[in-house]
Amino acid sequence: MSITVFVSSVSSNLRIKKKQQNIESILESKKIDFKLVDIAQNSDDKDRMRVLAGNPTALPPQIVNGDVYCGDSDAFDNAVEMESLDAFLKL
């Protein structure tokens, strides 16, 4: 399985942009392989993100491992703080 982070390149929301950058930075620093999927480029990706999240109004960033939903940016931050990132990412 691989970690996928659903992001948006056209978000005007500064909070979302910072959360996306934070997730990317932490995953890179921990040398965890992941791919970014930009939902602004393809509405099918946005729909897939929302189905996986189980929330028809979910906003990026959302994180999945394969087809298993891990959580949103707040849950990611909590996992980092609690030193349980591997469990959160289902690694």
Rounded Cα distance, 1 and 15, in Å: 29
Q: What is the pLDDT of residue 90?
A: 94
Q: What is the pLDDT of residue 1?
A: 64
Q: Where are the domains of the chain?
A: 3-88
3-88: which CATH topology? Glutaredoxin (3.40.30)
Give the strands of the sheet with 62-65, arranged side by side: 34-38, 3-7, 62-65, 68-72
pTM of the model: 0.93
Q: What is the pLDDT of residue 4?
A: 97
Q: pLDDT digit of tens for each residue in the chain (91 aa)?
A: 689 999 999 877 889 999 999 999 999 999 999 999 999 999 999 999 999 999 999 999 999 999 999 999 999 999 999 999 999 999 9
